[in-house]
Amino acid sequence: MFDALFAMTALPNLHPALVHFPIALSAVALLFEAAVWLRWYSAPADRCAAALWILAAAGAGATYAAGRVAADGLGALSPAAEATLASHADAGLTTVSALGVLALLRAWLVWRGARHAPERRDALRVVALLLALMVQGVVVYTADLGGALVFRHGVAVSERPARSAQAAISVTVPSAQHASATPSGFVHRDDGSMLWEPRAGEEAALGEVLTPVGATAVRVVMAPADVAGLSLLVSGRTLLLFPDSWEDVQIEVRVDLSAFDGALALGARVAGDSTGGFVRIRSDGTTVLFARRAGEDEILDEARASMSGGEKTLGLSAVGRHWKGYIDGATVVHGHSQLPASGRAALLLDGAGTIRLISVGISPVNTGKARVEHSHEH
């Protein structure tokens, strides 16, 4: 039904149709709240204020739910847009909670108002007005973040593919004065992003770029020079860590899994084999987003994706408590988990066959703090 409705309009989803209701309703409710305070008490204005806060809370809840659906339909975003989206989502949840509490309080005040002495009733109205002012500030802040997504970052203003983390890196990498290559082959930029395009037969990569944790069931195999990427023969389970430690980060890998049977997972904030967030894609398309704590896995989301064809771009975004998994720029899984603030980016391989690793892009979401240390353990 909704698909038919959207086909008749320019709306990509329900979020832009609903978002103005809590903003307008809360603003009008605040005016009625002020009217109640200025006259100290007016039963009709008091009831109107309470009703408007209830409607604003209901509208905020519907808007937040629609926003969750809308966010999943955006696909991979630039690091700056992803950071703003995460802040907007967190502020939206705070707005729903704050409006809900205020609506319950105002309903209670209307119900109990006739039983209170005038002095106590008027004092409670002053408290309600102060709370309403604070809640309205939260509403304005949330709305401003939503406006920044559209007008500053251009999110959802066209049907052009979203700019992925790797694209944001690779478009500008050739400028030598702003980038430096390490012996391992990673290109480091001033903004903290990294790009690695491994060469065929680059055996030193296993140890210099990809640091195994525990037993290694992976080895580099030779491939024709005209075949892009590093071919890895997998015969079991191996966790491979990339250099450096990161906080909020986007990771993208371009791989060919056509000769591999098993699972490949991207990880962020990984500490050995005990902690981290992962998106795991199996050969049959089963995609799982999970958080690992003390070696125990918590499933955050699960879906099925198409793995037909050869090369695929797999992505993981970790921003605060927000985790998303992508395949070819489209969001497949989305969940929330509060994991440690920083850790390594990682590849988790489990299966048998050959994986061709074509490129790896790692980009901080908050540039100033995303890379918290520089290390190349062996």
Give the pLDDT mean for 48-53.
92
pLDDT range class, residue 62, cuts 50, 70, 90? very high
Give the pLDDT mean for 136-157.
88
Give the pLDDT mean for 259-286.
93
Q: Is residue 161 predicted with pLDDT exceeding 70?
A: no
What is the per-residue pLDDT for 63?
A: 95
Give the pLDDT mean for 214-221.
88
What is the per-residue pLDDT for 116?
A: 59
pLDDT tens sequence across 313-372 = 999 999 999 999 999 989 999 999 999 889 999 999 999 999 999 999 999 987 444 344
Note the pTM of the prediction, 2 decimals: 0.80
Q: What is the 3-state secondary structure (H, E, C) of the chain?
A: CHHHHHHCCCCCCCHHHHCHHHHHHHHHHHHHHHHHHHCCCCHHHHHHHHHHHHHHHHHHHHHHHHHHHHHHCCCCCCHHHHHHHHHHHHHHHHHHHHHHHHHHHHHHHHHHHCCCCHHHHHHHHHHHHHHHHHHHHHHHHHHHHHHHHHHCCCCCCCCCCCCCHHHHHHCCCCCHHHEEECCCCCEEECCCCEEECCCCCCCCHHHHCEEEECCCCEEEECCCCCCCCEEEEEEEEEEEEEEEEECCEEEEEEEEEEEEEEEEEEEEEEECCCEEEEEEEECCCEEEEEEEECCEEEEEEEEECCCCCCEEEEEEEEECCEEEEEECCEEEEEEECCCCCCEEEEEEEEEEEEEEEEEEEEEECCCCCCEEECCCCC
Q: How far apart are CA 129 and CA 135, in angstroms?
A: 10
What is the per-residue pLDDT for 114?
A: 57
Q: Is residue 377 predicted with pLDDT exceeding 60?
A: no
What is the per-residue pLDDT for 163?
A: 47
